Amino acid sequence: AQTVTQSQPEMSVQEAETVTLSCTYDTSESDYYLFWYKQPPSRQMILVIRQEAYKQQNATENRFSVNFQKAAKSFSLKISDSQLGDAAMYFCAYRSNTGNQFYFGTGTSLTVIP
């Protein structure tokens, strides 16, 4: 089974500043997909951004962007101009191109300081 590691259990950022959440994964496959999910206190799981491994260009969604380093098996999430509503638990997830399962990290709890 693939392993997804989020080494930062907790992070904090000042409002309007930038923060980067780290994620690494272990796989022997060359084709796969990576995702970041946000879980606010409401408990909903919300897709933030996705990245296809075959794409060299890093994905961007408004204030959210990723730094995808395939050789290093690293997939970090950058949040720019942090807002109070960004406070949540963030999960990194991996999906094989051929498999049915998704593998999740243990999450990073992000606090936004006004």
Partner 1 sequence: DAGITQSPRHKVTETGTPVTLRCHQTENHRYMYWYRQDPGHGLRLIHYSYGVKDTDKGEVSDGYSVSRSKTEDFLLTLESATSSQTSVYFCAISAGTGSNQPQHFGDGTRLSIL
Site string for partner 1, 56-95 (x = CB under 8 A): -----------------------------------x-x--
Contacting partner 1 within 38-57 (CB under 8 A): 43-45, 47, 50, 52
Task: Tell me how far apart the alpha carbons of residues 52 and 59 are, in angstroms, rounded to a whole number.
Answer: 9
CB of residue 63 to partner 1, shortest distance in Å: 19
**Nearest approach, Cβ of 97 to partner 1 (angstroms)?**
6
Q: Where are the beta strands (DSSP E) in 1-114?
A: 3-5, 10-14, 19-21, 24-26, 32-39, 46-52, 60-61, 64-69, 74-79, 88-96, 102-104, 108-113
Cα separation, 108 vs 28, in Å, equals 25
Which 95-114 residues touch partner 1, going by CB under 8 A? 96-102, 104-107
- Cα-based distances in Å from 85 to 27, 38, 40: 33, 11, 8
Q: Is residue 7 near partner 1 by the rule CB under 8 A?
A: no
Neighbours of 28 (CB within 10 A): 5
Residue 9 CB, shortest distance to partner 1, in Å, is 8
Which CB, 16 or 47, lies closer to partner 1?
47
Q: Give the binding site for partner 1 (CB under 8 A).
A: 1, 6, 9, 33, 35, 43-45, 47, 50, 52, 91, 93, 96-102, 104-107
